[in-house]
């Protein structure tokens, strides 16, 4: 996919299958390559956030020659299209998932436990940020650090 292609308006991207995404890729000048398809197959199947390395392993189980740098490049392209989102759940590598599945996290700094956080809990924070700073928050990107019941 060529760099100059503009990203779509956030929230306007709609897809339900790998083929939908491939059509989207094609519509924006990209090509329906096999490595791209396999990566999407994995992302649609696991329905979880995986690191680039984990994704590469899963992809290579089906297409051994796909290089990790190709995975990174495809992930970047798919993020530009609004199909994929990445998040940072701690000090390690970023994790990637289908954008519609993104959600917020709490991470315990003691034991590393990860818990999903309902978006509703961010409502008042989001309203304050919007009303007083004009800022639209995305609570999914960075996890919220803290202490779980056992560690605090």
Partner DNA sequence: TCGCTATTGCGCACCGCTCGCATCTGTGAC
Partner DNA sequence: GTCACAGATGCGAGCGGTGCGCAATAGCGA
Contacts to DNA by CB under 7 A? 1-2, 25-26, 29-36, 51-53, 63, 65-70, 72-74, 76-77, 92-94
What CA–CA distance (Å, rounded) separates 108 from 95? 17
For DNA, give the closer residue by CB, 32 or 151. 32
What are the Cα distances from residue 120, in Å, to 15, 100, 116, 124, 135? 24, 16, 12, 9, 17
Pair 68, 53: CB distance under 8 Å: yes
For DNA, give the closer residue by CB, 89 or 108. 89
For DNA, give the closer residue by CB, 5 or 151. 5
Which of the residues 82 through 111 are near its own copies (CB under 8 A)? 88, 106, 108-109
Contacted by 69, from its own copies, DNA, none: CB < 5 to 8 Å by type: DNA
CB atoms within 10 A of CB 2: 8
């Amino acid at each position: 996919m060529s760099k100059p292609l503009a990203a779509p308006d956030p929230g306007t991207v709609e897809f339900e299958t790998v083929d939908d995404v491939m059509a989207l890729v094609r519509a924006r000048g990209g090509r329906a390559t096999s490595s791209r398809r396999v990566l999407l197959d994995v992302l649609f199947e696991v329905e979880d956030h995986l690191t680039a390395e984990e994704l590469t392993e899963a992809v290579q189980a089906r297409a051994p020659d796909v290089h990790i740098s190709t995975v990174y490049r495809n992930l970047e392209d798919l993020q530009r299209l609004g199909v994929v989102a990445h998040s940072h759940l701690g000090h390690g590598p970023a994790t990637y998932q289908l954008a519609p599945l993104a959600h917020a996290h709490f991470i315990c700094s003691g034991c590393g436990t990860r818990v999903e956080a309902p978006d509703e809990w961010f409502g008042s924070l989001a309203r304050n940020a919007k009303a007083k700073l004009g800022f639209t928050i995305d609570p999914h990107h960075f996890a919220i650090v803290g202490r779980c019941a056992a560690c605090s």
